[in-house]
Structure 1
Amino acid sequence: MNEGLLLPAFAWLCAITALAWLVPARWQPLVVGLGGGGLLAWYAPASLAVLGAGTVVSFSVARLTRLRSVGVSLTIAGLAAAYAALLWGSRQASGLSLILPLGMAYYVLRTVHYLVEANLGRLRPHSLADYATYQFLPSALFFGPIHRFDEFQRDLARRRWDNAVFSRGLGRILAGAGKIVVIGNFILVERLGYSAQTDPLGGGALDIYRHGLLSWANLYFQFSGYSDIGIGFAALMGFRLRENFDWPFLARNIGDFWRRWHISLSTWCRDYVYAPAMARTRSHLLAITASMLVLGLWHAISLHYLLWGLYHALGLSIWRRFTALAPAMGRLPAPIRHTWTAFAVFLTLNFVVLSFTVTTLVERLIERI
């Protein structure tokens, strides 16, 4: 989101938060949902229309008593095709050409989750208003996290004013703003000179490595900062969103990294890509490859993200081969274990930091063939 538009969005979220507690209790969820709709109407009317139509259609499909599985499958296929087409169109866009609706990357995944869970009969009874409030929760519209409907239902039923929760929400918002403004924009961009426009393969080896390190650091502090703000504002409104980051650069292996990085997306891929693929193929390699390809192509339909997904799938598959050594490592003397842990963190960090660099290099080599 353009930084010049952040202040009005903050003001709107603050107003919705206040109003959502001041009106009578039976109207409070409606205020939250309408607040999200108003935010989309201001920033992205096309996205409001897409999400509104998608909410009604997915709710209707989930209510089917006959042929629900067929309807769910067709709806999910249509959502995936529409998202892929818009994503590809946005990548090819110039001027006033096709642009991906704001927030669609998140509400497509929420809708798929809802349809699958409804088809499996795992959702408690609910109304269209409940579901619409879930889809239009203002703080999660643009940057996630990708929250789950069953968790939202629980929060909606138990929602009460809580001073401690409100205070923690304020703290998360301040922490998120600090990550974005102080660390991301000031330190990394202004002081250290990071620029997304810099050629990742430009300069010598040290320059290439430095750019990769700064790129991932900036991505982490910006994205986790926005996630903190989303989680914080949700807490102010009485809802608890999933954590999205858990000190990912302290991960001891690539599997640990994906349990710490963009947690709401990685767990979505685990539940709705990896688990079904594993059940059908009985192959970890195929299931993890499918998961990482979906995760990569969710960002952009491009050769770069295809290679990036394969890169991480390969890393996860190799790491799995070494998990059998874990019990033996646990029996080593403490100094050796601690040294190995430090080395493992360093190795994992560099594997992640170099992922965009390596995939960019391979992409350019392929393009030259």
Structure 2
Amino acid sequence: MPVFRKFLPLAFAALCAGLSGAANAERLKDLASIQGVRQNQLIGYGLVVGLDGSGDQTTQTPFTVQSVISMLQNMGVNLPQGVSLQLKNVAAVVVTTSLPPFAQPGQTLDVTVSSMGNAKSLRGGTLLMTPLKGADGQIYGIAQGNVVVGGVGAAANGSKAQINHLSVGRISAGATVERAVPTAFGQGDSVFLELNDTDFSTASRVVDAINRQFGANTAAAQDGRVIRVRAPASSDERVSFLGALESINVTPAQIGAKVILNARTGSVVMNQSVTLDSCAVSHGNLQVVINTEPVISQPAPFSGGQTVVAQTSQIEIKKEPGQVLLLKGGANLADVVKALNAIGATPQDLLAILQAMKAAGSLRAELEVI
């Protein structure tokens, strides 16, 4: 493994350790969201036409042919029975987008168009009118337009070259909102703030900051995540109030010690609260190399024997000397990274070392494997 890849997670963790231990004040809008003010996912099934021979292979994607026949029937075109369509310029796609809060009919949205068949490319295609539905099955938007693909590819005589992804494209302002989502934002005498992360200390600090700004008894914590805030009844006054509310600076409580391990990529990320009790870490590498080569035995001329193929294997074991490193109690993240780096621990080694530290009770942090 190259050196720069070997120590990348360690270097990143060391960079995090160099940050100040005290949490900085943040705007309330970065720490919490307003209950009910949210996006809604929309999805639709449609057809992209006008492709340059790079569409679905209809023999393998019969739903593309069915969709084309259904579209033609809706337009008054009836095909004779038994006709087999051989389409090359059509692709079946799934269209996705997010409906922002307070979106009104006539507003435009960006949409993502993704091939669901075996089309080679959506480059140069046009998405036909596609209804976009929500989780309740109602239509909230209509999408149509020219698909822009951020890639290019070419093939000839069995050779192929491709840059970026060709089966996913995007249409800027390609969907029009047809229906608004009902919201209870303007109802009642209160709004509810939801912290991005559940934390009782941060919730208490948010309540104190709001009450200092707008007067006592304006805010009250429901639990470690939800905060009830009294708001004006008038919609205009409520919008102004929430604008001022989101701009309040709050110093969040220091987060708990946590180590995130990604077993697939070998990434290890630790926050600045991670500490250690005294422990000793031993590290050594054992490498086994097996090399197998065929050996052919030829019989003597006119002997009537047969050629025999045998396998000869050579096994070599390389063992690097182990190292034992003492980590003193109370070490912070910078000390942990420096010590593990000193014994040449790779990201995969770190996974095992940190799990062993946690099992031994010397790692003072929550260990999460993703």
- TM above 0.5, one fold? no
TM-score (structure 2 length as normaliser): 0.21
Larger Rg: 2
Greater strand share, 1 or 2? 2
TM-score (structure 1 length as normaliser): 0.21
Greater helix share, 1 or 2? 1
